[in-house]
Amino acid sequence: MNIGKKIKELRTEKLMTQSELAGTEITRNMLSRIENEAALPSLGTVLYLAERLGVPAGYLLSEGAEEFTYQKSVVMKNVKKAYADRRYELCRDLCIETFEELDDELELIMTDSCLGIAEEYMRNGFLRDACSYLDEAITHSEKTIYNTVVQRNSVKVLFGLLKEISPSLDSYEIDTDVDTFAISPQTLNSVFCKYVSVLFDPTKYEAFISEFTDESVERLAESDKPYVYHLQAQRCMLKKDFKGALKLLDKVMNSMIGSQKLLLYYACADMEICCRETDDYKGAYEFAQNKREILEHMLAEV
């Protein structure tokens, strides 16, 4: 990118007028000529403008690969902080807004960020949006040299659940008809993906439960704990311990799950079964109603 274009782009991003950027060292007319490629700035002018724009002077002078290196050095601290704080939408936006092309590291970050965004949309019942970000995660995973088997397996598992809810929730990027039962929950990174992988495969309960002891569950984020409680409840249901399951399902319902519509839907479905098995037919009816309303809400998003 030409130095004049870089200066104009940075000035515009910072909402500065030409007069504000020019200050007292150069004229507004000279800055306009530089931005329009009618004049080249002196080294002193470059140093002055770089300081006022808050970027290294080398960035204004760089070209090609050097330009990308400077761009990355400027923004990477914020990208990594957003990633570490699980602010995945901010992380993704920073990458998209800053870089025209991504290197292998950034492609991996984008893969994880899109997967994290998709998980959040799924938790909250925005299923069509989740599909879009899952596909985006796959696209980025194919452009990095880093191993993304875990991320790709996570996408397959999540699409498996989405298609179970509605056949219209499908991928444009991968074959979602592949068998996801062979994917072990222990090979997935997030609690939510592990939860989904176990939800329709009772043979995986023991592997999941053994990974989450009472002590390890307490160390989980509050938003993740209810998913473990729910699978513990389903394990009780398999053993016909419906009263024990109800206690665990009560923990799910009393957790701070707020807008996590997907979990609420499956928890209500199991509460209905447990209430019916313990002769609480009024409770069973109420949870059946709740389950239907939540499903209608999620499918309305489709």
CATH assignment at residue 18? 1.10.260.40
Indicate whether 138 and 217 sit together in one domain.
Answer: no
pLDDT given at position 83: 94
Dihedral angle, C-alpha 263, 268, 273, 277, nearest 10 °: 120
Indicate whether 88 and 35 sit together in one domain.
Answer: no
* Cα–Cα distance measured from residue 236 to residue 10, given in angstroms and rounded to the nearest whole number: 60
- Can you list the alpha helix ranges (DSSP code H) found in 38-86? 43-53, 57-61, 64-84
Give, as one character, the DSSP assignment of residue 204.
Answer: G
Domain that holds residue 237: 212-300
Indicate whether 55 and 74 sit together in one domain.
Answer: no
Q: Which residues make Cβ contacts (< 8 Å) with residue 135, sequence separation at least 6?
A: 171, 172, 173, 174
pLDDT given at position 110: 97
* Cα–Cα distance measured from residue 261 to residue 122, given in angstroms and rounded to the nearest whole number: 8
For the segment 80-104, what is each residue's pLDDT rounded down to a tens digit? 999 999 999 999 999 998 888 899 9
Indicate whether 81 and 163 sit together in one domain.
Answer: yes
> 193-206 burial, b if ≥16 CB within 10 A, otherwise e?
bbbbbbbeeeebbe
> Looking at 78-92, 190-204, 282-296, which range is the least confident one?
190-204
Indicate whether 27 and 118 sit together in one domain.
Answer: no
End-to-end CA distance of the chain: 42
For the segment 149-183, what is each residue's pLDDT rounded down to a tens digit? 999 999 999 999 999 888 888 898 888 777 777 78
> Looking at 136-145, 198-207, 282-291, which range is the least confident one?
198-207
Q: CA separation (Å) from 163 to 166, 169, 194, 273?
A: 5, 5, 17, 23
Sign of CA dihedral 72, 73, 78, 82: positive
Do 102 and 141 touch, CB atoms closer than 8 A?
A: no
Provide the number of structural domains found in the chain. Answer: 3
The answer to the question of residue 93 being in a domain is yes
Please give the average per-residue pLDDT across 246-265, as a whole number.
Answer: 87
For residue 257, pLDDT over 80 is answered with: no
The answer to the question of residue 50 being in a domain is yes
For the segment 211-243, what is each residue's pLDDT rounded down to a tens digit? 887 788 888 888 899 999 999 999 899 999 999
Indicate whether 160 and 219 sit together in one domain.
Answer: no
Please give the average per-residue pLDDT across 280-296, as a whole number.
Answer: 94
Indicate whether 12 and 86 sit together in one domain.
Answer: no
Instruction: Name the pLDDT band for 68 (thresholds 50, 70, 90).
Output: confident
For residue 142, pLDDT over 90 is answered with: yes
Tokens, residue 286: 């109420």
pTM of the model: 0.76
Indicate whether 91 and 174 sit together in one domain.
Answer: yes
Sign of CA dihedral 93, 99, 102, 106: negative
Indicate whether 79 and 35 sit together in one domain.
Answer: no
* Cα–Cα distance measured from residue 186 to residue 157, given in angstroms and rounded to the nearest whole number: 13
Tokens, residue 40: 């080249």
- Nearest Cα neighbor of 300 from 267, 261, 268, 266 is 261
* Cα–Cα distance measured from residue 172 to residue 156, given in angstroms and rounded to the nearest whole number: 12
The answer to the question of residue 94 being in a domain is yes
Output the average pLDDT for the chain: 89
The answer to the question of residue 187 being in a domain is no
Indicate whether 130 and 221 sit together in one domain.
Answer: no
Indicate whether 57 and 73 sit together in one domain.
Answer: no
For residue 70, pLDDT over 60 is answered with: yes
Please give the average per-residue pLDDT across 95-114, as a whole number.
Answer: 92
Indicate whether 82 and 165 sit together in one domain.
Answer: yes
The answer to the question of residue 285 being in a domain is yes
pLDDT given at position 241: 97
* Cα–Cα distance measured from residue 176 to residue 163, given in angstroms and rounded to the nearest whole number: 8
